Amino acid sequence: MSDKVYNALLWIKDILEKERVPYQIVGGLASRIHGGSRPVADIDLYIPGECSYRVLAHVDSYISKPLTHYVEGAWDLEYFQLIYRDQKIEIGLAPGTRILNRNNGEWVELKTDFGSSVKASWRGVELPLIPVRELIRYKSLLDREVDRIDIAELRELANNHRFSTNQECSDNGKD
């Protein structure tokens, strides 16, 4: 994974932890840290909506999409987007996110349980990740090509006993 992703992750993690904002890494980055191989395009994470002002106070000059409600493709959520040293970071607010189930066309609430986050170490940095089971669940609903790639890899890793969807890994040795 690129230094660009790593440096942006350290930057936003520092802000979140200084402000004591709970967060959960999701999306392609979570898939990668759990053991996937697909390149990471952006950093996706969720924070509690009531904590957004504590983050926004530190990131004003990096905002590329302001905090508001967006309905884009298969997503219906409140979020803001940052660009830090050419790396995109998307911060969604929980609760309230809905995703479109591509299989039946219905909107499904994406529940973010910060207390169920799996602690994982990546390049020496401890991070709270969405549990694999939940990651597979929401990627199955979205059913995009990138999601199918991530799901196949995560299931293969589970089948090879690198981890199970009930017991997560803490460091898969990949960067």
Label the pairing between strands 87-94 and 43-48.
parallel
CB 16 within 8 A of CB 47: yes
* The two three-digit tokens of residue 168, written as one number: 């997560």
**pLDDT on residue 166:** 41
**pLDDT on residue 28:** 95
**The domain made up of 3-159 is a member of CATH 3.30.460.40:** yes
**pLDDT on residue 120:** 94
Per run of 10 residues, the mean pLDDT along the chain (length 175 residues) is: 92 98 97 93 97 97 98 96 98 97 96 96 94 94 94 87 44 39
pTM greater than the 0.85 cutoff:
yes
**pLDDT on residue 157:** 83
**pLDDT on residue 59:** 98
For the chain, what are the domain ranges? 3-159
DSSP string, 15-54: HHHHTT---EEEHHHHHHHHT--SPP--EEEEEEGGGHHH
